[in-house]
Structures are given as C-alpha cells and as structure tokens.
Structure 1
C-alpha cells in the first residue's frame, strides 16, 4: 500500500521555486533541492520528477504568480493608461522587495538552450504583450493616448522594459535609480 505524502505539494514547490530563483537552474543541485525542500530524494522524484521537471513546474508556478500580479495591478483602474502604469509600478515594487526575478533569470540562463523553458517564457511574454496591447488600444480608442506608435510594438517594448527594472535593481540596488528607470519606461507610452 503506497504511503500518503506527508508534505504540502504547493508549499514544497514554492520552496523549490525560491531555490532556483536564488541560485539559478545550473547552480542548483539535487542536494540543494532535497535539503531545502526537506523531503527525501525518492519523494522528490516520485512527486515532481527530475530536476528539469521540477524546474519547469517551479517556473510555471512563478509565471502564475506574475499573471496574478499583473491582473490585480491592472484591475486597480478602469482607465487603460493608469492600468498600464499600475502594472509597471507593481514590477518596480517587486524588484525592490524581491531583488530578483525567476523569469528574467531564466531568459538569460536558459531561453537559448532549453526549448521547454523558452516556450514557457515566450508564451508568458506574449500574454503580457497582449495585455499591454489591449490596454494601449483602449486608450487610443477613448483618446487618452494620442500616439502614432504601433500598439503591438509598444507593448513588446513595455514588456521588455519590465526586465530593465529588475536589471537595474539587481545590478545597482539603488531604489532611486530603479524608480527613475520605471518612470522613463512609463514616459515611453506617450
């Protein structure tokens, strides 16, 4: 008769996500995961699969967290430009609080070499682009944005600009500079 799991799946997944987040995929060993998650190796393999499977699950979990963050930030205003600003400011706050981003780390560490990771990252990026594009088009329709910039191209720029907020904070740990980067990104909308 199989034993019941004596741990919370989601809680341990979050722990694994945080380990990958801090160390990166390549620098994280199975021993790091076993020790950090405080489960035995066989339970880890049976429940989450190998290191790569666990990483994919951790990254998907992180992406869900970011989706929720963007959605909640956007819903704070019915005005599309304010919704965009809210999303960008939420990333600024995350960068200050977390000073790291599993998504950004994964882009630079794995996107060129791991097709499954690249697919997750690309899908998430396109989802964020679509959100920004929708809001930009709404702002153009209600004439709160008078811009001849292509909405899709601007949406791509804004999403890639979110990475610059994290990069600035990670490299310089300077709240003022990170805030200035955030404000410049917001200023690019018009």
Structure 2
C-alpha cells in the first residue's frame, strides 16, 4: 500500500491557488493541482478533500489575505482620500501588471452564479471591501477631502464597480493607457 506524503498544507494551498488563478476552476485538472502542490492525489483527498473543496479553501484564503494586505497598506496612509486613491491605483496595478489579475473577479464570472458556497465567500469579500472603502470615503468627507454633500455609499459602489469594467476592458483591449485614464477620471470626480 502506498504511503501518503506529508506536506505543508498552507504552502500546498498557495501552490494550488496559483494553478486556479492561471487556469480557473474548470481548466485546472487534478493532475495540474497535485503536480503544483507536489503531493499525490490520495494525500490531497485525505487532508483537504476533492478539487472543489480545495478551490473553496483557496478562494477563502485569497480573499482573507487580500483584505488583510489592503487594510495594512491603508493604515499607513494618514489621509483617507489618499488611502482611497491608493486603493484605486493598487487595483489598476493589479489589472495591468499582475498576470493573474484578480482571482475574486475571475471566480465571480466563472462560478458564483452556480456555486452557492463560492457565492457566499465572494459576497462576504465584496461586503467587507465595501465596508472598508465606505469607512474611508466617510472619513474623507468628514475631513473635507471629498464633498460631504455627495452620497458616500454611491461613491463607494461606483469605485468598486469600476474595477470589474476595467478588468474586462483590459482583457479585451490590452490598453494600459485606457485603464489609467479611467482611473484618473474616477479619482478626479471623487476628489472634487
């Protein structure tokens, strides 16, 4: 009987996430995943479960770590408006310079409509991101950095929904200047 290989689960999840990032859930085979994780399939099944369970762990890990990084980055910026602008610029950089772009957006289009567990994770991520950004917008309004007569919730929704459109635009047109110009336009409108 073959022995199961012991492995570092956290590192294995990271390696699997990279495969899912590049190939998507449907495009990633079990062989792709186990090769990247450097484990055999029985070790995967015994410790984590099947491909879907692995993906759920990966997307959960991705959304949690991304939000922790976002909050840590924003906490170093004193101006709430500058933190919002940094958030926008970070999103632009992800779209333009990260070959994998945003795993949450990719997953939303691939699986969220048909997989309730994935939808819940992504909705929680969206709600968390919205609350984080709304707090910054409200603080910027209180400090007079953003017009306090504007609707903070609408500004927040507008910012977040722009990213999906930018991502689609970049996939189709591969035009960095277009994305940067849209970001500049957005920033100029919230900074009035």
If the length of structure 2 is used for normalisation, what is the TM-score? 0.89
Query: 1: CA distance between counterparts of 2:175 and 2:65?
Result: 25
Root-mean-square deviation over aligned CA pairs: 1.9
Q: Which moved more, 1:145-154 or 1:41-50?
A: 145-154
Name the structure 1 match of 2:144.
143
Does residue 1:159 correspond to 2:160, yes or no?
Answer: yes
Contact 1:76 1:86 in 2 (8 A): no
Q: Deviations over 1:12-50 (max 9, x none)?
A: 111111111111111222122122222100001112211
Alpha-carbon offset, residue 79 of structure 1: 0.9
**Are residues 69 and 160 of structure 1, via their aligned partners in 2, closer, same or farther at CA, if it must alter by over 3 Å?**
farther
Query: 1: CA distance between counterparts of 2:120 and 2:72?
Result: 24
Alpha-carbon offset, residue 4 of structure 1: 8.4
Query: 2: CA distance between counterparts of 1:116 and 1:5?
Result: 29
Unaligned runs of 5+ in 1: none
How is 1:39-188 mapped onto 2 (pairs within 5 angstroms)? Answer: 39-99=39-99, 100-188=101-189
- Structure 1 outlier segments of 4+, above 4 Å: none
SS of match in other structure, 1:74: helix
Q: Deviations over 1:44-72 (max 9, x none)?
A: 11122111110011001111232133213
Matched residue count: 188
Query: 1: CA distance between counterparts of 2:57 and 2:117?
Result: 11
Query: 1: CA distance between counterparts of 2:73 and 2:183?
Result: 15
Unaligned runs of 5+ in 2: none
SS of match in other structure, 2:26: coil
SS of match in other structure, 2:25: coil
**Are residues 160 and 55 of structure 1, via their aligned partners in 2, closer, same or farther at CA, if it must alter by over 3 Å?**
same
Alpha-carbon offset, residue 172 of structure 1: 2.6
Does residue 1:14 correspond to 2:14, yes or no?
Answer: yes
